[in-house]
Chain A
Amino acid sequence: MHSLVFTLSQASPTLMEGLVLGDHPSLLGRVIWSVAVIFVGITPFISVFAMLAIWGERKVAGHMQCRFGPNRVGPIGILQSLADGLKLFVKEDLRPGVADGLLFRLAPYMAFVPVFVAYMALPFGPDWTFEPALGAGLFWLLAVLTLEIMGVILAGWGSNNKWAVYGAMREVCQMVSYEIPLGMSIVVAVMTAGTLNLVQLGNIQSGGLHTWLVFRNPFVFLACCVYFVASLASNKRAPFDLPESESELVAGFHTEYSGMRWSFFFFAEYSAMFAVGGIQAALFLGGWNDPFGLIGYLHGKWMASGFSAGLVALNAVGAAIFVAKACVIVFIQMWLRWTLPRPRIDQVLYACVKVLLPITCVLLLGGAVWQLLVRERVGLPWKDYQPWDLASWWTGGFAATMVTQIVLSLVGLTVVSMVLGWIGYAWVTRHSVVQRLSEAAPIEPRQRVGA
């Protein structure tokens, strides 16, 4: 009988598993190992990331609004989230008397658990994925993330508060419609890659900057932008934060929540931000690979020679790169939140159905036609072809692919360097601000008219 457990027990152990348990681990050992990874690796990562991201968001918001943000607890306020967590931990857990008790209590977990499960398939390094053998890994990630809506719905409905129900209904409208452009923009990239397995997706992009899927063809490049917009909406991040728009709905779906239950929604939100950022990094932006393809090259080489210490180091570097890429995307999400105003719900749905959806349809068709007309490099870089040997690309009949990838890489580098230049300019001229916040002039009391 070919059950899941059978397949898992037959699969060869992953790098770390092999190092700890030996080459032929027993099933029990592997189960214990997996549980240990969840408790020692994934859970602390999510908790620490969510805490730092909440602090980071407040810092980003502060500096964008000419404030300092949290700066009292710990150096540059970095322990603020810990203090807040302590406060939330001891805060009274209020529940409205007219609420549906069961749904109200269950909702925070229903929002958090799907996001937690999504980390099962996120590829942190060439050998550092919790479940690398998941054939439909990307699809599985999306499927799990859609379940997060249920938590919001139950929170809104269970609270028995009209603002909460409005928030939940907006969430449903928004999520159900934005899932379509989200999924279709992913398909454009998957068509180019030819796999749904996140580890294979990373390996395909291991040949350096120009082999990253976002630079493979112009349609994937645009699909990457569409994915980002749709992921904002599906994550209920501003400007699509209508489910909790505080200026209209008090606090939206979590109006009635307090204490730890409330903080679960925040953990879910920030973990989901990292998860969608991680999907974007893994699918479009090369995953754990560096821009020169060194990790892919060394990994193949050390895999063949069995140099495990090097492989572990390589995975650590890859995981750092992956987390850095996802964090840049999370930063852009925060940046947008404090920059853009919030549209109305009809404008949000208009943008989805009449703008994003036609764009993704065109991209999907364009990507398919591109596959038919342009000859692309198939297989893994370094293994099946040399990514940096451009002469062989030219003579091998991949001239069109080569030119496209180089042009798109240059476009991408230009955008990144423009943003970095802007930030550098702001940093250099920071002392020429006319009046600093720390030396604010005293406010003169205005004279009363007619006094």
Chain B
Amino acid sequence: MMGFLADNTTQTETASAVLFYMCAAIVVGSAIWVASSRSIVRMALALLFTLVGVGGLYFCLNAEFLAAVQLVVYAGGTLILIVFGVMLTNPSTAKLYSPRRIEVVVATSIGLLLLASLVTAIVRSTLSGNGPETQSGSYAVGKLGEALLGDYLVPFEIISVLLLAVMIGAAYLAKARRKGEGN
């Protein structure tokens, strides 16, 4: 019985590692593709793979609700809007994006700064591999809902008011632009 259990534990650890490295490879590889590609729509495609890969990482960590949110909000929402914006503004697929030298310098330095701070934070962190007990299943989703509408009700409501204000502001700006064009 114990031998069987040990065997299963090894298999579990191996499978977890394989899944993690697969997702990580997708994330890192497609992120490099985003940075190196020169066609904006291809960048968007690569970004999709990055976001889906991050969703896969959440999935591996048993946070399936977060994974689904990642897909809906980032892959299904934000990214689609980016592509939509590109389609409305970019005249042709053949046009390639060529960054100016100053842009390359600024972007690289910001990226390196971010990388340095993240690496420092990870190295200095005291978090162990064993996080707090997580519960899978609908119970976790229920807990999340209770937390949002219970303990964290005030921040939740403030954020929703902020989003409403942003939405009204965007609608107002779009309308004002259209009126200006009409005159």
Give A contacts to B, CB under 8 Å: 1-7, 9, 24, 26-28, 31, 98-100, 102-103, 106, 133-136, 139-140, 142-144, 146-147, 149-150, 153-154, 157-158, 160, 165, 168-169, 172, 175-176, 179, 195-197, 200
Contacts and interface: CB of A to CB of B under 8 A. Distances in A.
Contact of A176 (B20, B80, B133): B80
3 cross-chain pairs, A with B, having the tightest CB-CB distances, nearest first: A146-B76, A143-B71, A135-B137
Chain B facing A: main interface SS: helix
A100 B19 contact: no
Contacts of A146: 71-72, 75-77
Contacts of A200: 138
B31 interface: no
B11 A26 contact: yes
Interface string B115-147: 000000000000001110110111111000000
Given A169-B84, A200-B138, A3 B76 contact: no
Contact of B12 (A9, A147, A157, A197): A9
Contacts of B81: 176
B109 interface: no
5 contacts: A1-B131, A3-B12, A9-B8, A27-B11, A140-B68
A133 B139 CA distance: 11
Contacts of A99: 93
Interface stretch (B58-66, B99-107, B161-169, B172-180): B58-66
B114 interface: no
B60 A26 contact: no
Contacts of A179: 76
B108 interface: no
Interface in B31-77: 39, 41-42, 45, 48, 52, 59-62, 64-65, 67-69, 71-72, 75-77
A345 to B, nearest CB: 14
B62 A133 contact: no
* Interface range for B: 35 or more
B27 to A, nearest CB: 16
B12 A6 contact: yes
A314 B116 CA distance: 59
Interface string B1-37: 0001001100110011001100000000000000000
Contact of B8 (A4, A7, A26, A106): A26
B87 interface: yes
B42 A98 contact: no
B65 A135 contact: yes
A149 B92 CA distance: 20
A196 B64 CA distance: 12
Given A103-B45, A106-B45, A2 B134 contact: yes
A102 B81 CA distance: 21
B87 A157 contact: yes
Contacts of A102: 42
Contact of A3 (B41, B60, B77, B139): B60
Nearest to A156: B87
With a 10 A CB-CB cut-off, give which of B15, B39, B42, B81 has the most chain A CB atoms: B15
Contacts of A169: 84, 87-88
A172 B84 contact: yes
B44 to A, nearest CB: 8
A69 B129 CA distance: 62
B158 interface: no
A405 to B, nearest CB: 24
A161 B79 CA distance: 22
A150 B77 CA distance: 10
Contact of A139 (B16, B65, B84): B65
A229 B22 CA distance: 39
A200 B19 CA distance: 28
